[in-house]
Structure 1
Amino acid sequence: MKLNKQTLAQASKQATLPTYDRTALLPGIVHLGLGAFHRAHQAVYTDTVLAEGDLRWGIVGVSLRSPDTRDALAPQDNLYTLGIRGEGEQLRIIGSIIDTLVAPESPATVLAAMSHPHCHIVSLTVTEKGYCHDPATNTLRFDHPDIAHDLAHTDAPRSAIGFIVRALEKRRDAGLPPFTVLSCDNLPSNGNTSRALVLAFAERIDTELSKWISQHGAFPNSMVDRIVPKTTDEDRTAITARLTVDDAWPVVTEPFSQWVIEDRFAGPRPAWEQAGATMVDEAEPYEHAKLRMLNGSHSSLAYLGSLAGYVTVDQAIRDDGLRGFIERMMTEEIAPTLQRPGLDDYRDELVARFRNPALKHRLQQIAMDGSQKLPQRLLGTIRARLDAGLPCERLCFAVAGWMRYLRAEDEAGRAYPISDPLADTLQAAAGITDISQRVDALLAIEAVFGNDLAMRIEFVSVVKGFLRRIEEEGVLQALGKIDAKNVHDFLSSPTKNV
């Protein structure tokens, strides 16, 4: 039997079920980027709000590329299982998604949902690359193929930005207020960034539209935090076995979940605080801490752990050398750049979450799209340290690890793919034999490093030295020596030419 509204009674033997009338839900939220993270995070908070009796907030999920999610969820009446894994596993059927659309199949249907009077919020989890922007400057790339297409074909957008602007235009022309644009992606000041990109696009097609959005729209910043690995066939088999009904598209996650949202909306909103979200005036302290502590450490662990041959986060963090490196990087280099209270406890909590063996969070999943992630996860912290005249050796070591990772094979010679929108450019630079020239070529990619870091000799020389050491000695041996002796002496001591 397949999971759907007819088989919920069977599933209830092992899982918590929705307690509200799903047939009465209104389509109050359109969500762009219907991936696993949204279904394990925002959709769960909204499910709780619906259970409290406010039925205005059904979610219309939109896949901007692949039909896979729609094809799996539609036969299940858009129901799916959330598996929360810690010491045991709790199962919960989520019912907040009421429809799933595939944008390339019918852009008009998506625009109709976004411009419907019931829609008050358009939220996004489209990943960093989905914003079609330059991550080093946070400016819209008008030469991006999707943006160029959307400027020429306003009735059939491809990009999230194109859909948002065209839908807002339809609302203005119909005399409707704008919806709130709620970014839930790991971008610095994600609401401010979304606003700037939307206004830049709107300005190109209609100056008055841009002014209307600026005056009446809302783009609150938010911070989302929950570890959500990619669902595997093993996960599907295990959850189906427990439910005794077939769920083609479950998601698995950890017990921890956090959502911090600036309380600045253009219209009504769900009472997400009743579901555990934190409504604030200013999200930046939480956002910086999460991007730099969790995401920065996650990316560092992904690149260094992959080189050492580890497959999952919990395997890598159980290596004493890697764990010590990550803990000291957070304590000595990242935390001093932040203002959020309780950072020591936050660090310890993160390490404990990384050690969760039930998630099996693959390092390669975190390593994807490094060119889009490094600017906010590592390079922003590096700039802050350099500007303050402070050392940032471990952060530089992580950048050097990424540069070595781009060779597409670990230290045992096992190959892996480089999944990145700039993969060709990155791998061409990473293939340069001379290490100094290789680093220079990578630093010259302004979309990643901007036009300033290549000029910071104190940064460039340390990255070159660490990359040379990683190539010569291996990542674990090299990082073990950072604390063993003065870094300057370590980098200037003789090594063989690489």
Structure 2
Amino acid sequence: MAQSLNLETLSSLAPSVSRPTYAREQLRAGILHVGVGNFHRAHQAVYLDDLFNAGKDLDWALLGAGVRPGDKAMRAALERQDWLTTVVELEPGANSARVCASMVGFVPVGDDARAIVEALDDPAIRVVSLTVTEGGYCIDPATGAFNPEHPEIQYDAAHLDAPRGVFGVLVAALKRRRERGITPFTVMSCDNIPHNGQVTRDAVAGTAELIDPGLAAYVREQVAFPNSMVDRITPATTDRERAILAERFGIKDNWPVFCEPFRQWVLEDNFLAGRPALEEVGVTFTPHVAAFELMKLRILNGGHAAIAYPAALLGIHFVHDGMADPLVRGFLDKLETSEIIPCVPRVPGVDLHVYYELIANRFANPDIGDTIPRLAQDGSNRQPKFILPSTRDRLKAGGDITGLALESALWCRYCAGSTDAGEPIPVDDPNASRLMAAARAAKDDPGAFLGLRDIFGDVADAPAFRAAFDTALRALWRDGVRATLQRYLDGGLA
């Protein structure tokens, strides 16, 4: 019978389960993390667990925090198990489980975030890290710049005593630290956004500018925002994962994390008041983060987008099943090698084609159970970051964009809300209603979808892209996904 996970049962778990070699009472919080989701618990929390298991830097434990309604459920689930998390690494044929104890608490989640602001009064908190998703940075998709008119930013600027959003929280906490003479904390983004440190700085300083230009100058001049690249495929947790954990490892965990064995963290060494020695547990510190970041965003995240929409339209649920489909895999391979990789700048010490082969093998791992709906969600935020920059670069270089235009057309066809077989597709996107209306209008007039200027920006003005998108979308509606993918692979779609 499976045992409930908590500190009391930790010592009696099955011998096959790895457990912390340190005691909870040895730890002190040094990092407050906003956005305690699966990725964070499979990534940053695991690196810290490794460091603590080596007996080092025990004053850099994690204090969880959240500003969204869903964070309440995560906090409640973890509180019942003393903030412990089971992480299952899905190596085909050799799955392993470990319990991570690097989190020591979780700030109460309320209707506003005053509790987080108060927690950041503690000088021991020297880093605030973030996983708030690509869409959480209040960026104008068309320009890539911070949008100070975003309703969340406007609200927090007017209610800094009780902010609701993450950037209002950071500004309020930095303002209090400044007034009290406490060294500011470093703000470390762990989200998949190009130049995420700079983007975070623009959001924090931009919010502060609405309140006090002097405070904004303080943020820009005195607060550190290191850039980073993070990578680990981490699917959502369902009852399937809970059942597997109970059956194979005898653990009842309210919210376990399942993930691939691979993990990577590339980080700029730009911290105000020290940092944990993460280089001792595999983190790469380098001034060339941007090169690693661009490689990952375009090849891996762009690859996810390339798989997501044809697979969804074909009714495929799991990513590994999509990779096993010759047409979906063929589309991914050709798009990556002929259009995406050629416009990725050189990365020190990395062969981009070898990197892509590693990515493709990771996508095909059948044990991960990653889903096509997860990859397909939030396209209005992801397309401008993962696909359209490659399209823009190819257009500037005069290169072929047939495959990239087909990827955009597949997204449009997906947003129409039905598979090739006529089954409904739930479009999971904050702009779903607008996307669906434009996508349905585009069945007769492909330009209707390109009229989403906040997403496509100047790419929509390029005659070569408009023509390729028109050809691809009309083919998808007329001939279906399989026939259109085959035409692309045969060279007949250009």
**Aligned letter for 1:297?**
G
**Distance across 2 between alignment mates of 1:284 and 1:447:** 24
1:441 to 2:443 alignment: no
Alignment of 1:97-136 (within 5 A): 97-105=103-111, 107-136=113-142
**Aligned letter for 1:325?**
F
Alignment of 1:390-409 (within 5 A): 390-409=399-418
Specify the alignment match of 1:234 in structure 2: 240
Specify the alignment match of 2:7 in structure 1: 5
**Distance across 1 between alignment mates of 2:337 and 2:50:** 36
**Distance across 2 between alignment mates of 1:266 and 1:315:** 46
**Distance across 1 between alignment mates of 2:174 and 2:193:** 22
**Aligned letter for 1:356?**
N
1:83 to 2:88 alignment: yes
The SS at the match of 1:304 is helix
Whether the aligned pair in 2 keeps the contact of 1:63 and 1:69 (CA below 8 Å) is no
- Map Cα deviations across residues 1-34 of structure 1 (whole Å, 9 max, x no partner): 4211100012252311111121121111111111
Specify the alignment match of 2:197 in structure 1: 191
Go from structure 1 to structure 2 and tell me whether the alpha carbon gap of 1:276 and 1:263 turns closer, same or farther (over 3 Å shift): same
**Aligned letter for 1:135?**
P
The SS at the match of 1:176 is coil
**Distance across 2 between alignment mates of 1:399 and 1:239:** 38
**Aligned letter for 2:395?**
L
Alignment of 1:410-489 (within 5 A): 410-432=419-441, 434-436=443-445, 439-450=446-457, 452-488=458-494
Whether the aligned pair in 2 keeps the contact of 1:10 and 1:245 (CA below 8 Å) is no
Moved more, 230-239 or 477-486: 477-486
- Map Cα deviations across residues 360-417 of structure 1 (whole Å, 9 max, x no partner): 1110011111000001100000000000111111111100000000011111111121
Whether the aligned pair in 2 keeps the contact of 1:261 and 1:283 (CA below 8 Å) is yes
Whether the aligned pair in 2 keeps the contact of 1:314 and 1:354 (CA below 8 Å) is yes
1:263 to 2:272 alignment: no
- Give 1:324 deviation, angstroms: 1.6
Q: 318, 340, 348: which is aligned to 2:357?
A: 348
The SS at the match of 1:93 is strand
The SS at the match of 1:212 is helix
Whether the aligned pair in 1 keeps the contact of 2:402 and 2:468 (CA below 8 Å) is yes
Whether the aligned pair in 2 keeps the contact of 1:329 and 1:394 (CA below 8 Å) is yes
TM-score where L is the length of structure 2: 0.95
Go from structure 1 to structure 2 and tell me whether the alpha carbon gap of 1:7 and 1:208 turns closer, same or farther (over 3 Å shift): same
Specify the alignment match of 2:387 in structure 1: 378
Which structure 1 residue ranges, 5 or more long, are not aligned? 489-498
The SS at the match of 1:328 is helix
**Distance across 2 between alignment mates of 1:364 and 1:334:** 23
**Aligned letter for 2:447?**
D
Q: 49, 52, 62: which is aligned to 1:50?
A: 52
The SS at the match of 1:218 is coil
Go from structure 1 to structure 2 and tell me whether the alpha carbon gap of 1:268 and 1:157 turns closer, same or farther (over 3 Å shift): same
Which structure 2 residue ranges, 5 or more long, are not aligned? none
**Distance across 2 between alignment mates of 1:74 and 1:134:** 36
**Distance across 2 between alignment mates of 1:252 and 1:483:** 34
**Distance across 1 between alignment mates of 2:65 and 2:175:** 19
**Distance across 2 between alignment mates of 1:34 and 1:110:** 14
**Distance across 2 between alignment mates of 1:282 and 1:184:** 16
Q: 64, 67, 70: which is aligned to 1:64?
A: 67
Q: 334, 356, 365: which is aligned to 2:374?
A: 365
Alignment of 1:251-400 (within 5 A): 251-338=257-344, 339-340=346-347, 341-400=350-409
Specify the alignment match of 2:34 in structure 1: 32
Specify the alignment match of 2:22 in structure 1: 20
**Aligned letter for 1:391?**
D
Q: How many residues align?
A: 485
**Aligned letter for 1:210?**
A
**Aligned letter for 1:70?**
R
Over aligned residues, Cα RMSD in angstroms? 1.4
**Aligned letter for 2:99?**
I
Specify the alignment match of 2:187 in structure 1: 181
- Map Cα deviations across residues 51-92 of structure 1 (whole Å, 9 max, x no partner): 222111111111221211111000111001000011221000
**Aligned letter for 2:59?**
R
Whether the aligned pair in 2 keeps the contact of 1:61 and 1:100 (CA below 8 Å) is yes
Moved more, 339-348 or 130-139: 130-139
**Distance across 1 between alignment mates of 2:7 and 2:361:** 37
- Map Cα deviations across residues 138-197 of structure 1 (whole Å, 9 max, x no partner): 323333222121111102212111111111111111111111111111111111111111
**Distance across 2 between alignment mates of 1:15 and 1:136:** 47
Whether the aligned pair in 2 keeps the contact of 1:180 and 1:218 (CA below 8 Å) is yes
Go from structure 1 to structure 2 and tell me whether the alpha carbon gap of 1:482 and 1:18 turns closer, same or farther (over 3 Å shift): same
Whether the aligned pair in 1 keeps the contact of 2:416 and 2:437 (CA below 8 Å) is no
Whether the aligned pair in 1 keeps the contact of 2:406 and 2:473 (CA below 8 Å) is yes
**Aligned letter for 2:67?**
L
TM-score where L is the length of structure 1: 0.95
**Distance across 2 between alignment mates of 1:459 and 1:252:** 39
**Aligned letter for 2:6?**
N
Alignment of 1:235-250 (within 5 A): 235-250=241-256
- Give 1:107 deviation, angstroms: 1.8
1:139 to 2:145 alignment: yes
Whether the aligned pair in 1 keeps the contact of 2:112 and 2:164 (CA below 8 Å) is no
Moved more, 321-330 or 426-435: 426-435
**Distance across 1 between alignment mates of 2:111 and 2:100:** 26
**Distance across 2 between alignment mates of 1:448 and 1:287:** 21
**Distance across 2 between alignment mates of 1:136 and 1:190:** 17
Specify the alignment match of 1:495 in structure 2: none
Identity %: 39
